[in-house]
Structure 1
Amino acid sequence: MAIEVITQRRSDARDNRARILAVARGAFAAEGIDVPIREIARRAELGVATVYRHFPTKDALLAEAFAEQMASCVEIVEEGLAESDPWNGFCRAIEKLMVLHALDRGFARAFTSQLPDATGFVAERDRSLLLMLELVRRAKATGTMRSDFVLEDVSLALMANEGIRADSPELRAAASRRFAALMIQSFQAEPVRMPLPPAVRLPLSRR
């Protein structure tokens, strides 16, 4: 009987943790990372204490909620490094990163925020940036990238990209691809005026 009770409690704890993460991911993606823990608990239909029992701090919740997206960031840059042409690898990486960030406002905000070093999120973000720095070095070596480009320019592009507002995820992704194309042209040593992806009608005011 005692074993059954313990097993049930563990099952309930796993279910609660999964529910908290699902609600947090949805809330952060739609509204950004400022959604309070109390609101996440309410939407998950759990007590605030239950949320804190699984995630002692909001930063811990953010780190786990965005673990998958962070892993995708690292993978995207690694794929860019694997390209035989560093410039093409950089261009592909920038486009994919900007689309990934455009589709999840919470992740985009967390990526450019100062979170405690104790979170695994920060270590993985720093790893992705170091990989991007190597990709930038290789692209510069080909003479295709402008010599005064710095890694902070990637951060600027991602911050601006986070502000894209559209009526659907598909439109946000499309707008992000066009913005990425504009940014990539500005990063070139001798910009090649390639046709841009189709324009997207965007709302003129924030909702």
Structure 2
Amino acid sequence: MTVSAAPDETPGRQPEPGLRADAERNRDRILAAARRLYATEGLGVSMASVAREAGVGKATLSRRFASREDLITAVFADRMDAYAVAVAEALADPDSWHGFTGYLHAVCAMQAADRGFADVLTMTFPAAKALESRRAEAYHGFVELIGHAQDSGRLRPDFTPEDLVVLLMANAGVVAATADAAPDTWRRLVGHMIRAYATPGTEVPPLPDGPTPTALYRAMIRLGRPGNG
């Protein structure tokens, strides 16, 4: 039995302009839908949910993005670029300690702004080569930044790159738990951690205010509801 190709995928000829435009519109709708869902719900969202949110069929989604990793790479390409740029800007800071603490704030703020990106920074996607390449670039820059800050005598000598991963994991959890009720709670966490990373006598930024008891209670109530982690 001969299987015909879809009109926009016929071998040997270019799709008609109208079909190309439709395909591009579908791709844009899928990316916009995935961004919305990932930002509010994290990466646990299914591909079927993305298709429904975009108003397209599963087959259309699969033609545009063959795998979950392909979709995640496309959605977060600009954020991974910003992640790599953040460490480059920190390295360019003539005050290595300021660059180091500024980088921590910048990356944790990126997590707070987008739950999906919070997940991306604490997971690996071996099949997503472009995404992992940007992550590796940022990682190597951060290793260099650590060395400069330690050479200045203001970052603890026992701080390691893995400590950043631990911070990002902790921050992702705080963001997920408090985003609705106390969205600035992550700032308090980062403030405490910077104090822990600093050598004795190092000047550290003022500690941000913590969540109010009422806001924290609302966050705890939300976590206790079925379906919330």
Identity of aligned residues (%): 33
Instruction: Please tell me whether Structure 1 or Structure 2 has the larger radius of gyration of its CA atoms.
Output: 2
1:192 Cα deviation after fit: 4.6
Gaps of at least 5 residues in structure 2 are: 1-14
CA distance in 2, matches of 1:117, 1:7: 32
Are residue 204 (structure 1) and residue 220 (structure 2) matched? yes
What does 1:12-161 correspond to in 2, within 5 Å? 12-161=22-171
Q: Is the 8 A contact 1:60 1:119 kept in 2?
A: no
The 1:126–1:193 alpha-carbon spacing in structure 2 relative to 1, beyond 3 Å, is closer
CA distance in 2, matches of 1:68, 1:176: 23
Residue range with higher mean Cα deviation, 101-110 or 88-97: 101-110
Q: Is the 8 A contact 2:39 2:114 kept in 1?
A: yes
In structure 1, the residue matched to 2:206 is: 195
Superposed CA RMSD: 1.8
1:194 Cα deviation after fit: 4.9
Q: Look up the SS of the partner of 1:163 in the other structure.
A: helix
**TM-score, structure 2 as length reference:** 0.82
**TM-score, structure 1 as length reference:** 0.91
Q: Is the 8 A contact 2:69 2:128 kept in 1?
A: no
Q: Is the 8 A contact 1:117 1:123 kept in 2?
A: no
Q: Is the 8 A contact 1:86 1:138 kept in 2?
A: yes
Are residue 166 (structure 1) and residue 182 (structure 2) matched? no
In structure 1, the residue matched to 2:191 is: 181
Q: Which segments of structure 1 move beyond 4 Å, counting only runs of 4 or more?
A: 191-194
Gaps of at least 5 residues in structure 1 are: none
Q: Give the aligned length.
A: 201
